[in-house]
Amino acid sequence: MLRGWELSAGDLEALALGAAILGTGGGGNPYIGRLRATQLLKAGFRIRVLPFDQLEDADLVVAVGGIGAPVVGIEKFEKGDECYQAMRAVERFSGKPVTALISSEIGGSNAIEPLIAAAYAGLPVVDADGMGRAFPEVQMCTYLIYGLPGAPAALADEKGNIAILSSVADEYWLEKLARTAAVDMGATAGFALAPMRGSDLKRTAVPHTLSLALKLGRLVLQARSRHLDPVSQVAGETGAQLLFEGKIQDVSRRVVKGFARGRVEIDGLRDFQRSRLTVDIQNENLVARRDGEVIASVPDLIMILDLETGEPITTELLRFGFRVAVLGLAAPEQLRTARALEVVGPRAFGYDLPYRPLGGGGWYAEH
Amino acid sequence: MRLRVGIDVGGTNTDAVLMSDRELVASFKTPTTEDVTSGVVTALGGVLGGAGGLGSGVAAVMIGTTHFTNAVVQRRDLAPTAILRLGLPATQSLPPMVDWPDDLREASGNHSYLAKGGLEFDGRPISPIDPAELRAIARDIAARGLENVAVSAVFSPIKPEAELDAIEILREVLPEARYTASCQIGRTGLLERENAAILNASLRVLGGRIVGAFRQALADFGLQAPLYFTQNDGTLMSAEYVERFPVLTIASGPTNSMRGAAFLSGLKEAIVVDIGGTTSDIGALHYGFPREASVAVEVGGVRTNFRMPDILSIGLGGGSVVSEQPFGIGPRSVGFRLSQEALVFGGRTLTATDLVVAGGLAAVGERERVRHLPADLVEKGLGWIQEHLSASVEKVLLSPEPIPVIVVGGGSILAKDAIAGLPVIRPAHYQVANAVGAAIAQVSGETDRVYALSDLPRERALEEARFLATQAAVDAGADPATVEIVDVEDVPLAYLPGNATRIRVKAVGEVQLA
Amino acid sequence: MRNIELADLEDIALGAAVLGAGGGGDPYVGKLMAQAALRAGGPVALIGADEVGDEDLVVPVAMMGAPTVMVEKLPSGFEVMQAFGALQAYLGRSVRAVMSMEIGGLNSTIPIAVAAHEGLPLVDADGMGRAFPELQMVTPTLHGVKATPMAICDEKGNAALLETIDNHWTERLARSMTVDMGGAAMIALYPMLGKQLRPSVVRGSISLAQQVGRAIRSARVERRDPVAGLLGACPGALLFEGKIQDVSRQTDGAFVRGRVRLEGIHASRGRDFQIEFQNENLVALCGGEPVACVPDLISTLDLETAEPITTERLRYGLRVAVVGLPADPQWTSPAGLELVGPERFGYRFPYRPVRELLPASGRA
């Protein structure tokens, strides 16, 4: 019996756009992934999405995604089945058949990777993820934060090499060992985490995020074609607050310990004139300060969109002169607990700040 | 006397200028013709005064042409092409031309091959090249009767041998074919670089023909001078080079006009606004060169990563149509029919030009014909134009430093004396800025590589990159004494070991004239 | 078949250090681990390669990484059992015997500890007949035996299983993981059936190590020249006797490269002699000319006691004898030389067998 609903080629464009918005500046460009998924649909493969409420306790679900450096992905793109092979490796190792796939990170390119693996496997993708946004490291997903084992995890490259991380001291070691193996494999690899039971996912996953990305992408595309304001459409759908509108005055960057660390300064326009917003950026937008005062920080989502087109602007593309809207969206509840904040709060990214949660509800609070 | 002729073949007009060293001696404008070359002959006649005139003193002819852009956009004159990509087992999820419009893919024949080869990000081979595999592919290419071959390899910008070694093997079977290696054309970004290589391969037959036609046009004039073409970054290529890399001429027009604006105004740091009949192109000059686009640029529906100027095009020009309910100007335009359709010329369409004349900002046509326009409409319209030009200029500003705005092009009357609070400069000869840009074009060389700064100190890496860029400029025909570094960019790459940094350096120099 | 008893370990460890050719790590830690295991689990049966059944599964175990790390960060002792157990579980069938992959240095004795712990016999063989720096540099590679599935474990509880397309990829992935794991890890790899093992391994390695160790030890006891005693116990030649004048080292990626310069004494007086090493001694040069090179073994021994001196312990003023021992014939085949010959280590000259170079010199 086929479960769930089928994704069309048209959905992929919207999904990629919506995923980039949820990427909050990071997560990698979904362009290559979308092209690959589109190719698979043309070749007759099917991609099905399993609604979160149809997930069964007994389901065995594997989270897959690409691991490596985004800059390599534009040159050496995938053979195609890397994530699928990684998923099969953990399945073989655990000895139990996998019944569905899921994304760890709905923000950016890893929204698409599970769809591709699912097309190969003939399995559905659960409408949920482990972040509701993008984060730079493996341990920053709700599955691992709430104690689901990451191992046995597996990496697979295009050549046929497979590394199974059969046990790890903790989830930071999982990140470290997986990252090292991925670099050896050419800084691109498919990655699969240990199979998770449906009952555990109901407890830990951020539900309905695939639908959310799809919806956001559709809204922006429609707003553009109907000459509506895409930014207010995104804000309206998600309940995100308009934190700022302005023009980028300065962007500074450097790399510290493998992470692009920088700061963008935005001078206010319209209702925000004579005010300045600074956003600290690493791979994602992390902390927003208005006139020196912190108004939003990780894990809440800080989304920087082109003021006119609503196009999400990734951290590496930020530059002087862009007119942008900055939206703030309260993170999923699973990322706001004391336990989660140790892993994804401001201090986890090296900012000596207490987390000041964005108020005002929003999409995640309501779903 | 060192005379140079600059010619710009645009969509509407073919412009020519004659320059003596740094001085403009003559200029001429003539409509672009269907065959293009006959318009060029007319323009040459216009500035040189016919055969036997000043022709013997001309040291070089520089041409900016839209031939190749048009061939791609209109899908004509494209030769069937084989594309070989080296990178298996990687990359097979996205075969060559995967994201091309169907009609263009068909126009170039859609013959693609994947083979083992290519590199990892650190220069290790993904898999070794298999000569037997490549020979079999070459035999298949021969069997299909293809004579143009594009070759791409993963991470070939790091090590060109990844492609060149494969071409040597293909050549054993196909000695007569014309080869294009992607590493000679583009930078990191496999799909985009490969796209450019395929377009180039399919344009090479046309390239030979066009260069031949221009040579003939010069010969008809008794001109012995060497022939150069401008490429999309505003620098020159020899005619021989264009025959091999015609694709590099694509989109040289906006670059020429920005370079011309820099020359005519004497400014190196400025914003250039080129206002035409239908659109305005706005870009930033940095060190006298247009700032390059950092994102993918589409040509005829194909993503490329050419060295293109970062141009913001807005649908606002002299011929833009004004609509009152709801209020707006453009993007619809009367275009080249402005002199018939605008109110000031006795036409029936309210255009941006009419608003400017009604506002008393310029004297074009008959002002009487727009006297009836309500003052608040004129004011609203002029305000709208000013606001849109200002917003666009702000978008392309490189820094908060106040720099001047140079306005060129036929629609220049739309601009006031200040845009976005910045002073506006209208240099002499602003109507032929693009031909001037071609005439003064220089020769460039570039390098774009990833360095592991853990192995090589940053200073040493930069030094090496500067040397490679200078060398490339000299190889391309620059006078070594004049070569200078115009751009250095180093971007640290996240998630890679060894403090990996991508360093791009560009050098330019004056063309070495015989 | 015979047993390895506690009393045999001294000789095996000493001989293994000589066969380490300057590398492979000090067998001391491995010997201690083996002693503890033999005390707990009783003697280990040593079986010849011919005694392994065609379909019997044999799993070699080893330490991977920098021996200098291991002497400081002592293994917990469980890692290697975990690596063995993880691979056995992954293969889904019972292992019938344990083996050493590298007789030179501490990887000679670690398999004894595993065999004792698991109650399995040890095969009297190895994959090198000496020590080499990389895991694909074993004779089974020449016969198409795959290093994977391979298990790698550290003391923190991290464990991984690798399946790679060739043995060079195994080396690459395992090497970086080893660095992550703190510079040293325990591995189980090259699972082989008896029918794969017999034609591909270097036979009799454990016995050879024991024989070499015993010869040195008895010469010491009987107050004979231990270096001569060693050369009487196995084929080999005395290359040089001298005093160390200079040692230079540099770290090159994961490995240490260096050079030692000697001043001749006794019969070697007046000659200029150098050894270049990368973990192991690679080339011996006399007057700038190579007199011995990989894959032949070049070992530096204390001139008086014949105690082998590993490359990390070379220092100014030591008086040493340099001996050259011929490599296993599998290594001197064209395929063998491609994998471990001088050119593989960056030298331009071809392999020249040590035996031909110095046919009759030395005290042997």
| Smallest Cα distance from C295 to chain A, Å | 28
- Please give the pLDDT value at position C361: 45
Angstrom distance (rounded) from CA A282 to CA A258: 10
| Smallest Cα distance from A168 to chain C, Å | 4
Q: Which residues of B touch A71 (CB under 8 A)?
A: 121, 188, 493-494, 496, 502
Helix, strand or coil, per DSSP, at residue A250: strand
Nearest to residue B349, comparing CAs of B358, B338, B360, B364? B338
* Rounded alpha-carbon distances, angstroms, from residue B316 to B6, B260, B275, B419: 27, 21, 8, 15
Using a CB–CB cutoff of 8 Å, tell me whether A269 touches chain B. Answer: no
Angstrom distance (rounded) from CA B492 to CA B454: 12
Residue B239 contacts residue B227 (beta carbons within 8 Å): yes
Rg (CA), chain B: 24
Residue C152 contacts residue C172 (beta carbons within 8 Å): no
Q: Which residues of B touch A36 (CB under 8 A)?
A: 93-94
- Please give the pLDDT value at position B347: 92
Place of tokens 């109507």: B431
DSSP string, C197-213: HHHHSEETHHHHHHHHH
Q: Which residues of B touch A317 (CB under 8 A)?
A: 294-295
Which residues of chain A have a pLDDT value below 70? Answer: 1, 255-260
Angstrom distance (rounded) from CA C292 to CA C357: 8
| Smallest Cα distance from A191 to chain B, Å | 16
Helix, strand or coil, per DSSP, at residue A288: strand
Largest Cα–Cα distance in chain A? Answer: 62
- First and final CA of chain A: distance in angstroms? 28
Walk me through the domains of chain C, giving residue ranges and CATH numbers: 2-203 (3.40.1610.10), 222-344 (2.40.390.10)
Nearest to residue C75, comparing CAs of C106, C116, C42? C106
Place of tokens 């590493």: B183
Comparing alpha-carbon positions, the chain A residue that sits nearest to B158 is: A75
Burial class for B176, CB neighbours closer than 10 Å (0-12, 13-18, 19+): exposed
* Rounded alpha-carbon distances, angstroms, from residue B285 to A88, A270, B318, C163: 54, 29, 24, 54
Task: State what percent of residues in chain B have pLDDT above 90.
Answer: 40
CATH topology of domain B3-70+212-265: Nucleotidyltransferase; domain 5 (3.30.420)
Give pLDDT tens digits for B149-172: 999 999 888 788 999 999 999 999
Angstrom distance (rounded) from CA C21 to CA C280: 6
Q: Flag whether pLDDT at B1 surpasses 60.
A: no
Burial class for A224, CB neighbours closer than 10 Å (0-12, 13-18, 19+): middle
Helix, strand or coil, per DSSP, at residue B68: helix
**Hey, of C91, C177, C178, C187, which one would you mutate to test binding to chain A, going by the most A CBs within 10 A of its CB?**
C177
- Please give the pLDDT value at position A291: 96
Residues 221-240 of A with CB under 8 A from B: none
The letter for the amino acid at B51 is A
Domain A5-209, CATH 3.40.50.300 — does that match?
Answer: no
| Smallest Cα distance from A363 to chain B, Å | 31
Banded pLDDT at B310 (limits 50, 70, 90): confident
Comparing alpha-carbon positions, the chain B residue that sits nearest to A186 is: B120
Q: Which range in B101-105, C75-79, C322-326 is most confidently predicted, on average pLDDT? A: C322-326
Q: Flag whether pLDDT at C71 surpasses 60.
A: yes
Q: Which residues of B touch A320 (CB under 8 A)?
A: 397-400
Q: Which residues of A touch C180 (CB under 8 A)?
A: 176-177, 180
The per-residue pLDDT of chain B, averaged, comes to 87
| Length reported for chain A | 367
Which phi and psi angles does B119 have, rounded to 5°? -125, 155
Nearest to residue A301, comparing CAs of A235, A351, A252, A208? A235
Residue A133 contacts residue A358 (beta carbons within 8 Å): no
ipTM (interface pTM): 0.85
| Length reported for chain B | 514
B316 alpha-carbon distance from chain centroid:
21
Nearest to residue B275, comparing CAs of B380, B359, B386, B366? B386
Banded pLDDT at C255 (limits 50, 70, 90): low
Angstrom distance (rounded) from CA C105 to CA C18: 8
**Hey, of B105, B121, B163, B311, which one would you mutate to test binding to chain A, going by the most A CBs within 10 A of its CB?**
B121
Nearest to residue C110, comparing CAs of C2, C184, C164, C52? C184
Using a CB–CB cutoff of 8 Å, tell me whether B293 touches chain A. Answer: no
Cβ distance A167 to C156 less than 8 Å, yes or no, reads: no
Largest Cα–Cα distance in chain B? Answer: 79
Place of tokens 């085949």: C333
Give pLDDT tens digits for A12-41: 999 999 999 999 998 888 888 999 999 999
| Smallest Cα distance from A269 to chain C, Å | 49
Q: Flag whether pLDDT at B511 surpasses 90.
A: no
DSSP string, B114-161: EEE--B-TTS-BSS---HHHHHHHHHHHHHTT--EEEEEETTTTT-TH
**For the whole model, what pTM was predicted?**
0.82
Residues 194-223 of A with CB under 8 A from B: none
Angstrom distance (rounded) from CA B369 to CA C240: 109
- Please give the pLDDT value at position B280: 87
Q: Is the pLDDT higher at C257 or at C246?
A: C246
Task: State what percent of residues in chain B have pLDDT above 70.
Answer: 95
Using a CB–CB cutoff of 8 Å, tell me whether A160 touches chain C. Answer: yes
Q: Is the pLDDT higher at B289 or at A58?
A: A58
Q: How many other C-beta atoms are found inside a 10 Å radius of the C-beta of residue B449?
A: 18
Banded pLDDT at B51 (limits 50, 70, 90): very low
Give pLDDT tens digits for B391-426: 889 878 767 778 999 999 878 888 888 898 899 999
Nearest to residue A180, comparing CAs of C152, B74, B156? C152
A16 alpha-carbon distance from chain centroid:
11
Structure token pair of residue A100: 């569905």
Give me the sheet containing C237-252, strands edge to edge.
C289-293, C280-286, C272-278, C255-264, C237-252, C319-325, C297-302
- Please give the pLDDT value at position A67: 93
The per-residue pLDDT of chain C, averaged, comes to 91
Helix, strand or coil, per DSSP, at residue B112: strand
Q: Flag whether pLDDT at B39 surpasses 90.
A: no
In chain C, beta strands by DSSP E: 2-4, 44-47, 57-65, 97-100, 122-123, 125-126, 150-153, 159-163, 184-188, 192-193, 202-203, 237-252, 255-264, 272-278, 280-286, 289-293, 297-302, 319-325
Q: Which residues of C touch A89 (CB under 8 A)?
A: 163
DSSP C313: G
Cβ distance A72 to B126 less than 8 Å, yes or no, reads: no
Burial class for B383, CB neighbours closer than 10 Å (0-12, 13-18, 19+): exposed
In the beta sheet, which residues pair with residue A280? A263, A287
Q: Omega before A299 cis (within 30°)?
A: yes
Nearest CB partner across the interface for B94, out of A36, A188, A321: A36
Nearest to residue A175, comparing CAs of A195, A161, A155, A205? A155
- Please give the pLDDT value at position C362: 41
Banded pLDDT at C26 (limits 50, 70, 90): confident
Place of tokens 């005290």: C363
Helix, strand or coil, per DSSP, at residue C155: coil
- Please give the pLDDT value at position A243: 97
Residue B14 contacts residue B7 (beta carbons within 8 Å): yes
Angstrom distance (rounded) from CA A305 to CA A108: 14
Helix, strand or coil, per DSSP, at residue A242: strand
- Please give the pLDDT value at position B514: 64
Helix, strand or coil, per DSSP, at residue B418: strand
Nearest CB partner across the interface for A180, out of C163, C164, C176: C176
Domain B78-208, CATH 3.40.50 — does that match?
Answer: yes
Q: Flag whether pLDDT at C363 surpasses 50.
A: no
Give pLDDT tens digits for B80-133: 999 999 999 988 888 899 889 998 998 888 899 999 999 987 788 889 999 999
- Please give the pLDDT value at position A103: 98
Structure token pair of residue B38: 């006959």
- Please give the pLDDT value at position A295: 96
- Please give the pLDDT value at position B32: 78
Residue C24 contacts residue C133 (beta carbons within 8 Å): no
List, by residue range, all CATH 3.40.1610.10 domains of chain A: 5-209
- Please give the pLDDT value at position C242: 94
Using a CB–CB cutoff of 8 Å, tell me whether A256 touches chain B. Answer: no
